Amino acid sequence: MHGPDPYSFVNGQKQDDTPFGRLMQDFWCKDPKDMHYLELAAENRRLKEIEEGVKQMESVADRIFVKGVKKAVRKAAF
24 part of a folded domain? yes
23 part of a folded domain? yes
4 part of a folded domain? no
In whole angstroms, what is the distance from residue 23 CA to residue 67 CA? 29
Cβ atoms of 73 and 67 within 8 Å: the answer is no
Domain membership of residue 34 as a residue range: 19-77
| pLDDT tens readout for residues 8-21 | 778 888 899 999 99
Q: Is the pLDDT of residue 1 over 70?
A: no
For the chain, how many structural domains are there in total?
1
| pLDDT tens readout for residues 45-64 | 998 889 999 999 899 999 99
Q: Is the pTM of this model over 0.75?
A: no
The number of beta carbons lying within 10 Å of the beta carbon of residue 44 is 20
8 part of a folded domain? no
Which pLDDT belongs to residue 19? 94
The predicted model gives 13-38 an average pLDDT of: 93
